[in-house]
Copies of this chain bind each other. A is one copy, B any other.
């Protein structure tokens, strides 16, 4: 135990959902955890972590539209880089997630995947992955 892992993810679009469940599950196997928790942390300010449905092909389209609806256009903001909407979307999704681990597996629901949400891509992103094992 003890290692803090890093996943490197190259995003492709300006807004994009990238399913990272398999990579996180692979790290759980690599560290050999049986039961405990997994904390995911994103060291970025214009991206987010989201657990959401993995079977509806329209979810990414709908979420992109929703992000635009919720964050508005940039014209009313003062942000120096012109990417405040991405910061706001990051605030709404969050950069930290904790998932229980049971029998060496992430205890996700059968319809759930873990997504890196890119809101200001394309960029090279990092996801930090930390496992804490039961006593």
Contacts and interface: CB of A to CB of B under 8 A. Distances in A.
Interface of A: 1-2, 4, 35-37, 39, 41-45, 50-53, 56-59, 61-63, 65-66, 69-72, 76-81, 84, 87-88, 90-100, 102, 107-112, 126, 128, 130, 132-135
A2 B128 contact: no
A111 B56 contact: no
Main secondary structure of the interface of A (DSSP, over half): mixed
Copies of this protein chain in the complex:
3
27 contacts: A1-B135, A2-B134, A4-B35, A4-B107, A37-B132, A39-B98, A41-B99, A42-B109, A43-B110, A44-B109, A45-B51, A45-B52, A45-B112, A51-B94, A52-B90, A58-B78, A59-B84, A63-B88, A66-B71, A66-B72, A91-B92, A92-B92, A95-B112, A96-B97, A109-B126, A132-B132, A132-B134
A72 B80 CA distance: 25
A63 to B, nearest CB: 7
B100 A130 contact: yes
